[in-house]
Structure 1
């Protein structure tokens, strides 16, 4: 062994000595290059593709897409491949590096197929663009009467919510193609929660009450959210699928039929649209979620809400992906369902700025104005024919004025002050905020007044619970409380501009908003209609609504008013006619002294009787709760 080692050592030393003498050493091996991360190949998106699913070849094939930037792999799984991640169903990445797509063949056009996307080997989500989903936790509570022949969930095959697609799905044939929307200034909206309107909680059962609403005189129905939301018993503001009507209320064609029948009776349909936020059931939230909140690479959502008004996960409306999605949503409902307007929930949340003014309202925000003008212009580009864009905004008055000048309509909450008036608490009963000039608006048509909404305590509950009481007069008495509701209605419908009433307000609904929890289901009290006192309130609502709709004086921009004392009045002038609404909101007799402007005979629209003024001053002692609508000329 030694004989071998020593010659080898000698040779190495000789080599080193030789290199030193020459000044050169052998070059070291180069640093190895790290292996290249494989790049996902891209494939041109077929020209027929669209967001979600499009059927081709007579419905025997479908191209399915998913917008999911930054993902590594997506498989389409479903009934058509027994929910397996098979190579033929691995989705291809389009050259934009954001859209995944696959074509599936050999479909039966008459069959409903359930499907999901399997993303990055860990996440199963339904299609954000699907028009129907199946929910393993909630569908079993949907009546077969409300939703006949609902497809069974693929139990044992997958988990979570699944999408449904069908080439030859049932279609609705529209009957009323010539509906003319009521003028904004003459709009009387009935806000309605289908869940709490009839015991059957369906579009079909609500249709059966349409004559009741038509007789009331309303000319628009505002449906609280009907897009697929979490659970069944909900107000609907926890939306998760924006293109699918919630099955708890009925089928797609049942909703289309409801809208069509409303149009046939001269009633517009406004849809409550929730695009400020989503919750955890949304596939768009789940695609970019760290288990606690959206991730920073979400195309749609902020990691944390950018404004103090938020619930759920906050949409970023400055993101191009969010704007694209919002525009697709509104276009879909406008074209597929022929709705007449949107009431946009929490519209002041469409901002990336965290700011309030001294009054606690959202401060003036130029970026939010730009966002809303862009959305409003897009809506007008689809339908310029008096389509209603109504914002639940409650921001700085200067900002609301800009939005109104652009044609948008703003919710105006009179609940507190008007309810103080009906309860007889005069010091806090000034409801002058009802008048558009107080907001700086140039037109009354842009301000939607209401004294009740889904979000506010019911007037009559507070009347009989907290109403003022003096010797011989009690607002807490139901008969008295209802009469004071009549007086409030007389003033509400005399104020120029569109109006909204909350369901059953016309019958003096007096169960608290907090009964069974704020958003819990409430007792449905159709028996109210058989109570003569409540029916009298309904009749008064109907009369005053029809007076508003049939007489242009109630849209007149020429008016004066005083609504801060016990005696309140509104005086409207239009040409040769003048109308004066006067009422005593106090709980004791009060003397009215009002300049009517003209002598002679005045007709009382509330009773049909008349008074004769020898001077222009109207001086009269009014009992508590007494009111009149005086007109110089007969009203229609």
Structure 2
């Protein structure tokens, strides 16, 4: 992230001579000559105060600027261990820079050994710098991530890169193995760069002329590439790149990334036999890529999978970190294996897909994942690459689709293209964002390589991990200026103050960009889901829907209002997309909760109306009625993990921002009968959707009346001879009778299909009698019920409910009566 501290720089030399590789960082200085050796004389270091962290940007030329400088040598204990450095702050004349104007200062170093006082026999590897004022204040010139500036000291006679045609067609970024795995071509896009060195474990990280990469220029883009022979198929190799002698970076197309600062905290139980970060050879701040010719091989058990139709899709949003782990604790130690162990629960709940919050390599091990660095690499904090594949495989075996949440508006601070360029000169990132919702480092969406990367990422996860689609975070940030109405300053690579209304307005560039990305997905898989978190106006979202996209629809505020017992702003008609500003039917994935929104149960507990706040059973009942209004509405929907049994830990900070800290693992909530009853409500409702897909598709007739209060609410669905009626009592303290419309058919023929936990709805005189806060679902004779479900693991927590053979709930059976006995999702015909 932007404010994280990271030691940065670059180091080149022969590992065979004991030379340690560089640390990561962006260019802050230029040198004359460009290549420096230990024998180079009359070196000029030019410090660009507007580059890097800009800690000394804007200072007048009269400011005395000094270099705190030392060396990485053969006497250094680590790649970051300075030697031959003065005590801070030393204002000797030799450390003072000369002002050159335009925010630049120069430092002359006539002879490295004499300047630093290095005796003969000590090998010089890197020159390292921090620029400061005379007082040594906190205003310092460092790398873009706040680390030390490092310059490689090359071996004598190191060659300049040569231009050479890329073999076998167009350049393919990343590492491409030969057919037998004995060699690989490494390709790295680096526009406007002069040289790139590949450094890898196959020769013990030696910096050798053979791995000075060739370059080829195609359509204005420079690609560096080289081939490595003598590799062993199926073996792990680690590598990184050194750019222009100053910046050590990972591979943006790496399939797996090692992190020297965070991998040590991942247990062997989570990632057995994890490749070891080469800490004796590489600075811990350099993300190291892992290459293995067999990385994509996996023995898939589910040969084919038919995805649920878009209109029937009900997703379960999962943050792996908090879904499993230590019960009752907020340790953030959930894993893929733990999620797989809970897939039967998710299947039995009745959803038909899971949506994983971002799992692509992110900063640290504890995160929501919206701070990615490497898009092709799964984050190791949750498990191995094959664990991710096994998760998809196990989901498909259970009929569950898998959707990935992807973040294409921003990255954290370790993406190679972020580190390689001073922000003022970057063509990959905006120095400031043109839109109003930026958090981290904002991609320049107009950059050709950025868009190619995104398309390649989508194709990769579809083919290599067999995921079923994507949810795109913050689509409002993926446009060009267009509706943003902002002004770009090319000299500083910054935008003016962004406009919220301009960001929210109809933006043709966003539509065009998503259409292009969707085309890339269709090239691989025409049926893959393509879901936008656009949250824009109906005009824009309908344009996206016309291309086959789904769009998130946030109904949280109204759902919370209903759940708390307040009439104001409690309409839930927006669960039905045509009632949401005229959006196309079946085009929205509507939800009452998501990772971004507050828990309904928390707001009930904190702010609920009289009769709700201090009545736990009523709180759970009203949550069930929210679920009924959502799930009985046709079209796709989403459930946020633990919503189905009323999790009530707040997800917000006091200022309203998201609290991304780990949350309690609360499976024990199911031991409470009211929470278990709520969970059963979700099961019943979802089972009805699954058993009667035609009622919830785009071709059914739907009358959605979810605006009322004192008079109640209802949904009437019909398809052919099937009719389904939902009735809801929104009141907190009063039972009401809800009229059965004639379109629902003869009231005497309607069967009870689902109802609020521990309630007894009844039909009399053409109306449905409902207790406060309760719902009931009735259907015609040919509506399939959810009676014959798979028994639940949690049956002991559920009460026993009896129904007659017409599906009407009864108080208790009498001797000789044939009834349906139901506990949890287990249902049996019983003769008493």
SS of residue matched to 2:355: strand
CA distance in 2, matches of 1:52, 1:561: 52
Matching of residue 103 in structure 1 with residue 246 in structure 2: no
Runs of 4+ in 1 over 6 A off after TM superposition: 356-361
Matching of residue 152 in structure 1 with residue 294 in structure 2: no
CA distance in 2, matches of 1:315, 1:536: 46
- The offset of 1:120, in angstroms, is 0.7
SS of residue matched to 1:410: strand
- The answer on whether the counterparts of 1:599 and 1:612 sit within 8 Å (CA) in structure 2 is no
More helix, by proportion: 1
User: Match for residue 156 of structure 2?
Assistant: none
Deviations 1:184-204 (A, max 9, x none): 111111000110011152211
Matching of residue 503 in structure 1 with residue 641 in structure 2: yes
Deviations 1:63-99 (A, max 9, x none): 1111001001111112234334321111111143600
Deviations 1:362-413 (A, max 9, x none): 11111211111111122112111x2110000011211101111111000011
SS of residue matched to 2:180: helix
SS of residue matched to 1:445: coil
User: Match for residue 9 of structure 1?
Assistant: none
CA distance in 2, matches of 1:599, 1:109: 71
CA distance in 2, matches of 1:150, 1:632: 57
1:550 to 681, 691, 710: 691
CA distance in 2, matches of 1:440, 1:586: 27
SS of residue matched to 1:176: coil
2:568 to 427, 438, 450: 427
User: Match for residue 817 of structure 2?
Assistant: none
- The answer on whether the counterparts of 1:309 and 1:349 sit within 8 Å (CA) in structure 2 is yes
- 1:442–1:508 Cα change, 3 Å: closer
2:729 to 584, 595, 609: 584
User: Match for residue 123 of structure 2?
Assistant: none
**TM-score, with structure 1 as normaliser:** 0.88
- The offset of 1:259, in angstroms, is 0.3
User: Match for residue 507 of structure 2?
Assistant: 365
Deviations 1:31-72 (A, max 9, x none): xxxxxxx99641011217621111227323221111001001
User: Match for residue 520 of structure 2?
Assistant: 378
- The offset of 1:633, in angstroms, is 3.0
User: Match for residue 212 of structure 2?
Assistant: 90
Matching of residue 625 in structure 1 with residue 769 in structure 2: no
Structure 2: any 5+ residue segments left out of the alignment? 1-158, 326-332, 486-497, 785-832
User: Match for residue 308 of structure 1?
Assistant: 436
User: Match for residue 318 of structure 2?
Assistant: 192
2:384 to 214, 239, 251: 251
- The offset of 1:304, in angstroms, is 2.3
- 1:443–1:549 Cα change, 3 Å: farther
**Based on CA coordinates, which of the two structures has the bigger radius of gyration?**
1
Matching of residue 45 in structure 1 with residue 45 in structure 2: no
User: Match for residue 521 of structure 1?
Assistant: 662
Q: How does 1:527-546 map to 2 (within 5 A)?
A: 527-546=668-687
- The answer on whether the counterparts of 2:161 and 2:212 sit within 8 Å (CA) in structure 1 is no
- The offset of 1:250, in angstroms, is 0.8
Matching of residue 563 in structure 1 with residue 706 in structure 2: yes
Q: In the comparison of the two structures, how many residue pairs are matched?
A: 587
Q: How does 1:270-281 map to 2 (within 5 A)?
A: 270-281=403-414
CA RMSD of aligned residues (A): 2.4
CA distance in 2, matches of 1:474, 1:447: 30
2:305 to 179, 194, 199: 179
1:321 to 433, 446, 449: 449
CA distance in 2, matches of 1:140, 1:167: 25
- The answer on whether the counterparts of 2:258 and 2:288 sit within 8 Å (CA) in structure 1 is yes
SS of residue matched to 2:166: coil
- The answer on whether the counterparts of 2:565 and 2:612 sit within 8 Å (CA) in structure 1 is no
User: Match for residue 25 of structure 1?
Assistant: none
- The answer on whether the counterparts of 1:486 and 1:541 sit within 8 Å (CA) in structure 2 is yes
- 1:247–1:155 Cα change, 3 Å: same
Deviations 1:233-290 (A, max 9, x none): 10001000000000011111111011011101111111111111112111121122x2
- 1:226–1:564 Cα change, 3 Å: same
- The offset of 1:302, in angstroms, is 2.4
Matching of residue 468 in structure 1 with residue 609 in structure 2: yes
- The answer on whether the counterparts of 2:564 and 2:612 sit within 8 Å (CA) in structure 1 is no
Matching of residue 161 in structure 1 with residue 287 in structure 2: yes
Matching of residue 404 in structure 1 with residue 545 in structure 2: yes
